[in-house]
Amino acid sequence: MNKRLRIAALGGAGVLAAGATVVPAALATPSATSHTLHFTAVTQKQTSLNKTTFIQDEKDVHNGKIIGYDVIRFHQTSQTTAAGLVAFGSKGGFLYGKLTLNFNSPIARGPITGGTGAYKGATGTIVGKNLNKAGTRTAVTLKFTT
């Protein structure tokens, strides 16, 4: 798989979503609430800005229903790695994160760095695993606290 397809394949790993398998995050509470979300990110479009930078947009699906949309920007940092920024929008607000992608691995990882609305102050982790050779479907797990 070439680097561009690998980036597309794992781009969804950085997808951030809400409402997939947990009750939406509560607004500010005295103690942190833990959440785990599982969903599939489906690539809608990938655009190459130049030889090393790509933008990808995806719809995020759980049990056949669209639960949100995201956009990811990857920049190739070496022959074998890329760094990405992700933003996801849903009814509850936005979640933001960063990704590290190794072209030799089907898995991308990174931190959740914040959010807005119900996700304000969110922190946690993103893990995505490529589901198909074309790189258009990615299994995503988000673990975070609000």
Enclosing domain of residue 30: 3-145
Q: Tokens for 126?
A: 């993103």
Average pLDDT over the chain reads 84
The number of domains in the chain is 1
Q: For residue 61, what is the domain's CATH number?
A: 2.40.480.10
What is the arithmetic mean of pLDDT over 117-140? 92
Over residues 5-42, the pLDDT tens digits come to 444 444 444 444 434 444 454 455 567 899 998 999 99
Instruction: Please give the Cα distance from 136 to 131 (Å, whole number).
Output: 8
Return the amino acid letter for 60. D
Please tell me whether the overall predicted TM-score, pTM, comes out greater than 0.85 for this model.
Answer: no
Q: Which range in 4-8, 125-129, 134-138 is most confidently predicted, on average pLDDT?
A: 125-129
Is residue 84 scored above 90 in pLDDT? yes
